[in-house]
Amino acid sequence: MHRKIIARPDIKITELKSSSTKDFKKSLNEHAELYVTDQQEALGIILSLNHYNELMDQMQHLKDLLYNQEIKHRINEKNPKFYSDEEVRGDLSKDESSIDPNDGWE
C-alpha cells in the first residue's frame, strides 16, 4: 500500500552525503522529518532525536493502554480459562526452588 505524500520536505541522498552537519541540523529544525530520496523514490525518513523519542513514548503509551484493556477484558470474562503452572512455565514449574525466610522479602 503506497501513500502519496504531497509537499513533504525531502533531501536527495547525494545532498545528504555532501551536506554539512550544520545544514543538516538546520533542515531538521525547520521540519519534523526529512524524507531521503533517490531518483524521486523515498528510501527512508530522518527524524530528530526528540521527535523519535516522542514517537517511541507515544507508541509505548498506546501499547500500555492496549495491554491494560486486554487485562480488563480478561478479568471481566464470564468463563475465564485457567492454566496450570506447568502450562504457563513449562519445565521451570518442576524447579524445586527453596524459599529463604531470611532473604528480606517477607
pLDDT at 3 over 80: no
**CA-based nearest residue to 17, from 40, 42, 36, 31:** 36
Tell me the average pLDDT of the chain: 81
Alpha carbons 93 and 88: distance in angstroms, whole number: 8
Residue with the larger pLDDT of the pair 81 and 66? 66
pLDDT the model gives residue 106: 65
pLDDT surpasses 90 at 91: no
CA distance 20 to 34: 15
The predicted model gives 50-63 an average pLDDT of 93
Distance CA 34, CA 5 (A): 12
Q: Give me the pLDDT at residue 87, please.
A: 93
Give the model's pLDDT for residue 7. Answer: 56
Q: Which tops the pLDDT comparison, 66 or 31?
A: 66
Q: What is the pLDDT of residue 23?
A: 67
